[in-house]
Amino acid sequence: MIKLVIIGILVLVIANLAMALPTLLRQNDQSKLTQFLGRRLLGSSIILLLLFIAIALGWIQPNPAPWHTNSTTPPATRTNS
């Protein structure tokens, strides 16, 4: 469920960027441009906040870092032939 919410907000962020582009190219109404980019910033902040909360509550699990693996196999060695 949380993943769908994050994806939905991400789509809105991308849509606001797409709506800001023509306004930026025309350079006639800076207040609309500020509105679109402000919404993008708000959406991105909400996504980050939701990700931090979801990880802290255990709703989603981040991928483990590759240097934290517990494998006992040695790394592959390269032979010079």
44 contacts 81 by C-beta, under 8 angstroms: no
Q: Please tell me the distance from the alpha carbon of residue 23 to that of residue 68, in angstroms, as a whole number.
A: 47
Q: Mean pLDDT: which of 2-6, 15-19, 36-40, 43-47 is highest?
A: 43-47
Q: CB-side exposure of 64: number of CA atoms within 13 Å?
A: 5
Q: List pLDDT tens digits, range 21-40.
A: 888 888 777 788 888 889 99
pLDDT category at 8 given cuts 50, 70, 90 is: very high
Q: List pLDDT tens digits, range 61-79.
A: 888 878 866 655 555 666 6
What per-residue confidence (pLDDT) applies to 48? 94
What helix, strand, coil percent values describe the chain, rounded to 5?
70, 0, 30
Question: Residue 39's closest CA among 9, 69, 8, 64?
Answer: 9
What per-residue confidence (pLDDT) applies to 24? 83
